[in-house]
Amino acid sequence: MRKCLWLWGLLFFALGFAWSITAERNPCTERISGSAGDVLEDDPVGRLKVYVYELPSKYNKKILQKDPRCLSHMFAAEIFMHRFLLSSPVRTLNPEEADWFYTPIYATCDLTPTGLPLPFKSPRMVRSAIQLISSSWPYWNRTEGADHFFVVPHDFGACFHYQVTDSSLPRLAGILPILRRATLVQTFGQRNHVCLNEGSITIPPYAPPQKMRARQIPPDTPRSIFVYFRGLFCDVNNDPECGYYARGARAAVWENFKSNPLFDISTEHPTTYYEDMQRAIFCLCPLGWAPWSPRLVEAVVFGCIPVIIADDIVLPFADAIPWEEIGVSVAEEDVPKLDKILTSIPSHVILRKQRLLANPSMKRAMLFPQSTLPGDAFHQILNGLARKLPHPKSVYLNPGEKILNWTAGPITDLKPW
């Protein structure tokens, strides 16, 4: 029975190969129809004004000087958003006319020698910055941060003590208490999770636009790979039994499809990784420790249909990007049926997804280019902030009114930074 399924899948694969050649050699694109397409192409200029606090360089530039790797890390959005806003037409130098206030802190630019994040000092940095702006300007105290936004691109956003569960040590779990009225611009997005506030703006992780652009292959190259994935299937260093990492979804991919000729999957990360994605029809984007990964950005940019395996994920710019039309969502429990699911998608559906992915506006929305472009990820963030205006009157506090608990959290978080 399994051999028959493979033969059927290979026939489908051959047909898919032909569809892809036809689609690629006739490089037509399709604009998403209706309001979603309009939202994706919105121009935020004239719809909001942002005041950028001028902070001492110890909160941003000096941190970057210590570790320039932060410029190319998947968390680099916090750096490039700061640079973008400094020269953006939405910036105002008059805080009295601002709709939003931005505090430029690089809380995620603290990496181990191997490039892993060390966010455990971040609460002290954030608290120190907020103490500074609340004592130097009157605007934080009017709302306790409800008209402020922070870029927190760490794996779990502003849950800096992310390894703590809310059932074991509730004082540590969840979003840093002092940020719970602010709008968080974060890569982490999972419904009904303690690390996601209602009203947060979920963004894509940073992927280097110049590097990706330099690895483009000719557009008429056929997509000869049916399913592609490179990455860990089990994090043996942190989960030797493979029972927790990716909630078992990645392990299930390997167990079920390691010998399937339709699946080009491996832990090895070849130098042709970007080129291979451009030769694939489907690219797997499974959860890891967090629901998101840069594969989602890479798949969209390279026109490979993203296969999203992450239950309850909140996708980047979901109010603008039509994920259900450009990708395929597969429940974690359905991973063993992944071959049947993908080979059963009709050819006209695949072709339409490829045409939508070929639309430049779809790709721009996922990237943070150093030379900004209309509709890029910077503009999608601003659009998200503009859609939250005007602020309801309820966000403004009465004189002397306090809601946030400034002393909540462990003693180590309260130490001066």
Supply 26's token pair: 């006739």
Q: What confidence score (pLDDT) does residue 50 get?
A: 98
Contact 59, 189 (CB under 8 A): no
pLDDT score at 163: 62
Please, what's the b/e burial string for 230-253 (b: 16 or more CB within 10 A of its CB; e: otherwise)? bbbbbeeeeeeebeebbbbbbbbb
- Contact yes or no for 329/244 (Cβ under 8 A): no
CA geometry: angle 270, 275, 278, nearest 5 deg:
130
- The Cα 104–Cα 149 span in angstroms is 10
Measured CA distances, 47 to 51, 70, 415 (Å): 14, 31, 39
Distance CA(333)–CA(138), nearest Å, equals: 51
Mean pLDDT per 10-residue interval, the chain, length 417 residues: 47 47 52 59 93 98 95 95 98 98 95 84 94 97 97 92 57 82 96 91 96 93 97 90 90 97 96 97 96 95 98 94 96 98 97 96 95 95 96 94 87 85
- State the pLDDT at residue 172: 57
Crossing angle for the helix pair 77-86 and 377-387, to the nearest 10 degrees: 80
Q: What is the DSSP string of 28-89?
A: ---PPPTHHHHHHT---TTT--EEEP---GGGTHHHHHH-GGGGTSTTTHHHHHHHHHHT-T
Full DSSP string of 202-232:
E-PPP--HHHHHHT---TT----EEEEEES-
- Confidence at residue 20, expressed as pLDDT on a 0 to 100 scale: 45
For the CA atoms of 182, 411, 155, 383, what is the dihedral angle to 10 degrees?
Answer: 10
